[in-house]
Amino acid sequence: MYKNRAPDGKRNLCGTQVAALRKAKKPKLSQRGLADLLQLGGLDVDKNAVQRIESGQRFVTDIELKALAQALGATVEELLEP
């Protein structure tokens, strides 16, 4: 039976990289700050959604993945790297 989760049980592949790239920004970008950037890009995402994405508790759509990459100054491929 197909399971809609990563091998480690998380619901997305990008959460760890999103957190790492967000924390590496200079000046450091908060989860709320990232949510604000995503909202400016047209996504209905709040701080709690960012926290759930980073912890792997929330699925991420392709539209959200592209917006996350743009907000973090990264490529979609970078977000999907282990």
1 pLDDT band (50/70/90 cuts)? low
The distance of Cα 70 from the centroid of its chain, to the nearest Å, equals: 11
Q: Give the pLDDT score at 64.
A: 97
The string of pLDDT tens digits covering residues 19-68 is: 999 999 999 999 999 999 999 999 999 999 999 999 999 999 999 999 99
Give the residue with greater pLDDT, 78 vs 9: 78
Structure tokens at 26: 């200079």
Give the residue with greater pLDDT, 3 vs 32: 32
Give the residue with greater pLDDT, 7 vs 16: 16
Q: Is the dihedral of CA 9, 47, 79, 28 positive or negative?
A: negative
Query: Does the pLDDT value for residue 10 go beyond 80?
Result: yes
